[in-house]
Structure 1
């Protein structure tokens, strides 16, 4: 990554003037304890001591005050620390990568810390951990009609776990692409697992599926590299299609790509890369630029009565400046990720900046099913769905379906949608959505291999 090279050059210049910093030996000798140490320092208010653990280039970017306000903001929104687990350590050349569980009152996380050869923390990233969230099948699922097995997609440091669901006599197969961020194969959010609902619901209807953990969840450290949509989505979608073609149970069956949210945005790009696919199912697929959609969602949250979800004007202003930088000709690979939305590297924004999902979908010449919830505030009718409809309405093989009372994860409700709707125990994707997807695929009447 260009930024890393620049950082190293600057580091060497500073070292030449100020001398090398002393090694922090305990972080190298006992890296598994770094998580507990970081949280202990935060809980004690020892922000300066924590900052001293950071590599020099991070200290240039993060002040003691910034550490304090960020930590207090997390506690205010997610509750107190419940537990901190022992770290799992992976050594890679001169870098130690430590993953440790952190449980807050309202949120469980896996935190990934990278430690340099000198013992300094070079990055900290947190990803949601939904492994302990209970789930029971919705009433439209019959678990006697299919089998689910664990498979692996990709190789080496890009390998991710996945779930293959095979009905007794499948008629088609779907590869699922979830939304933005480090998301698991179930597209878990709060207490909901919408992709698990869809996978097992569709299997009950005779449609096989393959869904996988995103690499940004399994290998969170990849966000420190020159990541693009190729690494985030396409590599594993391609691997999924390759694996399915080798499975005798589904060999020769039509393969569809189902994408939700940003996954729906990226689905046409996968289709372009893999022209053999049979069609696309786009659920709440975004067409608005990601950096602008984030700002719109922040402003929407400020209209809710529950101030828990309100976003400060300062944060919205910062997000606006980050969005402007993404759209600026000044954006380059050397732009620090700290100045960009979600601290995602410039390589990613350069990759998606000029991508148009709608025109890409139009150029595929494949059947498209585009579905949207009318109460969705993350991907909306007027900001996103209209983009699909304006260019694709009337095209042969394109179908639109709107559920006025459904939200972003296709659950029914009333009034303004809010994040509270994702924390409903026993909540599921509405059965009508499963019914419509399976019916649409069936009515295409695509050829099946002879038995």
Structure 2
């Protein structure tokens, strides 16, 4: 959680996320073995026909939304697979089968003189559970709330190189942030990273207070899972998109997750085109002793700060609610507005600080929290930024703060240490010479990058456009940042916690806080045995790979935090 955002700078398309992979989608080739003698070209229809009267060529309509169509000559059945569903259309029969369920048709599927399978548009829509129209020029056009089909059609247009058509349904903000040259370059990078996308395996629709998101899961030609999130605004236009750096992994709720002990409310942090969806979790009995604002680490995090199977912020929210502490967590700006948020002058202030203060404004305006302390809780890079957030909190929104796994060295130096440690781990584990050489090369490249970052000739507002440093403004704004030194002269009570099995921000950082803040008497420290960077226990030395295993933040952490929070004075 300590690799910063990398995005667009000086007109260049770059990658965003924890790994340089958080972009969009690959091509959609015809499925291997999908054979049919039927014409792929769209057919014309007479204007003014109803959906029951309109006949569509099954293959062309289905492939417009990345479905795979094959024909079983023995049973004379057209078989369509799409997003985990199987549809069967026996030729000449007035029935269709959807995931094993038989549905009667007004008209049977038939074959025209050109060998095309024709089906009524209404039956096609019913089979796939969508709304759509059909025309010779446009092909299949999903409408209404058919976010699954809309997003799949968008992917198909990208695969066909139909850039203008793909962007035709962009919101105004995304049109400005993702012009055609950037969209094309973006797609080219996706192809290079992932190759072609073979099939759409699953679509999940998730609405929040800002967007409706279609989460698509594809299988690539390399047999790899590929995830894409397409966000729609209230008008049904595509407002942003992102490929998460990690695929979804099943999450196991902790034993202390007792739904009867808390209530969750959908809220919006900020306003306008960069408003963020959030969740306010409050004790169900209404007895609130404190309220905490949770601030993420680096990368485009969701509101739960999901990392593999871990959801650190969700665990904190439900665990603290059981202790009488309310929490506000929200999706990070670079996750909800991946393209729109990151401008050439983008800095850590835009990425994290502004939204943390907006979140504090929201809880301070809520009458339920008028007489309780408001606590800032920052994890990883968010913890590193706690002193800076407090410095910018001129309205004194926060009464106290918690730092979880917060680095005390500049982030560029920390990343270099991570690279070098990866080399040493590989050697100890007996990795091949090729793997070790690759890791050494990565460390060397980052060392060269650090030299650029620390070059005092460059500033946030003064650096060459062709500087080989992605998102240079972000780096020059945040370089040489010693968080503990900044906290020396502050007077907001702190609770600083660290896991002793943290491969990303090791326990020496806790000692760094203690040394820098030795003159302060309002700081509490806690080192937790076995906890890794996401504050989940792990018995073996952490490598980060264990984030994919089920695990939760121990209740002990919530009990310690809540006890300390309740002791803090309110405004």
Q: How far apart are residue 393 of structure 1 and its match? A: 2.9
Partner of 1:412: 537
Question: Is the 2:416–2:447 contact (alpha carbons within 8 Å) kept by the matching residues of 1?
Answer: yes
The SS at the match of 1:318 is helix
Distance (Å, rounded) in 2 between the aligned partners of 1:146 and 1:195: 15
Q: Which of 314, 317, 331 is the matching residue for 1:196?
A: 314
Distance (Å, rounded) in 1 between the aligned partners of 2:266 and 2:466: 35
1:314 aligned onto 2:454: no
CA gap of 1:229–1:133, structure 2 versus 1, over 3 A, is same
Give the gaps of 5 or more residues in structure 1: 6-25, 42-53, 89-97, 113-122
Distance (Å, rounded) in 2 between the aligned partners of 1:306 and 1:244: 51
- Between stretches 367-376 and 293-302, larger displacement belongs to 293-302
Partner of 1:219: 337
Q: Which of 464, 472, 497 is the matching residue for 1:371?
A: 497
Partner of 1:91: none
| 1:47-74 deviation line (CA, Å, top 9, x unaligned) | xxxxxxx977999x99x9x9887558xx
Q: Which of 518, 524, 528 is the matching residue for 1:393?
A: 518
The SS at the match of 1:258 is strand
Q: How far apart are residue 35 of structure 1 and its match? A: 3.9
CA gap of 1:141–1:153, structure 2 versus 1, over 3 A, is same
| 1:141-180 deviation line (CA, Å, top 9, x unaligned) | 3321221111011122211100101112100000001100
Give the gaps of 5 or more residues in structure 2: 1-7, 13-137, 143-149, 162-178, 206-212, 232-239
Say which one has the larger Rg: 2
CA gap of 1:215–1:162, structure 2 versus 1, over 3 A, is same
Question: Is the 1:143–1:204 contact (alpha carbons within 8 Å) kept by the matching residues of 2?
Answer: no
1:230 aligned onto 2:349: yes
Distance (Å, rounded) in 1 between the aligned partners of 2:361 and 2:537: 36
Distance (Å, rounded) in 2 between the aligned partners of 1:169 and 1:242: 21
Q: How far apart are residue 351 of structure 1 and its match? A: 1.5
* RMSD over aligned Cα atoms: 3.9
Distance (Å, rounded) in 2 between the aligned partners of 1:100 and 1:109: 6
| 1:264-298 deviation line (CA, Å, top 9, x unaligned) | 00111111222341111000001222222222222
| 1:88-146 deviation line (CA, Å, top 9, x unaligned) | 9xxxxxxxxx998454646634379xxxxxxxxxx99643476x654343112332122
Query: What is the correspondence of 1:113-124 to structure 2 with a 5 Å cutoff?
Result: none
The SS at the match of 2:10 is helix
Q: Which of 10, 16, 28 is the matching residue for 1:3?
A: 10
1:181 aligned onto 2:305: no
TM-score (norm 2): 0.59
1:253 aligned onto 2:369: no
Q: Which of 385, 392, 395 is the matching residue for 1:266?
A: 385
Q: Larger % of helix: which?
A: 1
Partner of 2:255: 139
Partner of 2:244: 127
CA gap of 1:254–1:337, structure 2 versus 1, over 3 A, is farther
Distance (Å, rounded) in 1 between the aligned partners of 2:262 and 2:215: 35
